[in-house]
A and B are shown apart, each in its own frame.
Chain A
Amino acid sequence: MPELSRRRALSAAAVVATAAGTWSASTPATAAGHHDSRGTFDEVYKGRRIQGRPAAGAGHHHHGAGYAVFVDGVELHVMRNADGTWISVVSHYDPVPTPRAAARAAVDELQGAPLLPFPANRPLA
């Protein structure tokens, strides 16, 4: 756990230093981007840095979402539903309105645990 704490502290500090980060979950990060699913966001939510941006190129694991979300720098697999709602691999059966909401739901679900870049995240042949 000490390693986890240090990691979280470092990433949080980095955001504060560079972007006057928004520490409170209730603070709208208006300077960080749009709520539109094609915009970007970058904020500290519950002590962890969450970021989202349109994905460059069609990476094999973006599956047409064309959008990438990160938690403390580790990519969180997200997916856009036909109705415009979003899910992530850690909350896969519970659609939320935006990629930022999916990132926040992931932080809630993780309860401080580090996200793993997971090799299982590849379609089967």
Chain B
Amino acid sequence: MEASKVIHAIYTDDDILMSAVKKVKEERHHIEEIYTPFPVHGLDKAMGLAPTRIAITAFMYGLVGLTVAILMMNFIMIEDWPQNIGGKPSFSYLENMPAFVPIMFELTVFFAAHLMVITFYLRSRMWPFKNAENPDPRTTDDHFLMEIAVHGNEKELESLLAETGAVEINLVDKAH
């Protein structure tokens, strides 16, 4: 196991954090992670994170749900047992389609919503009984923590971070 060191810089204000992120990015240091108690608008842009693609997955899940609804209703109501129920025309799917639209709609939404949420959990590695990966419990309350990898340039980094308004700078050994 190779032990590597990271610096934890702690801030108490999201505006100061944002300007610090911009400065650190300008100096071309790699920010490993940022822990915040609440969503900070524009932080992902400042960090240069790639935009999420979860909306695209949701769209595709919706199409899956729509397909499931159509195939299911077509098989049950039209192919398998085309009964005359109250005079509804069960000769073809299209003829009876308006009656299936509520189901088509709901299943589209159901698949899109639930599968997207599950995708979100998988991609962000969240599940019950998972050990919290929190380096400092204060970041869930009122502190912001920026984690930067150190490659023998700790002095330079520390002075840079102190300049940006960090209230606390810790050098941490992190076992990978």
Q: Do A and B come from one complex?
A: no
B residues near A (Cβ < 8 Å) are none
A residues near B (Cβ < 8 Å) are none
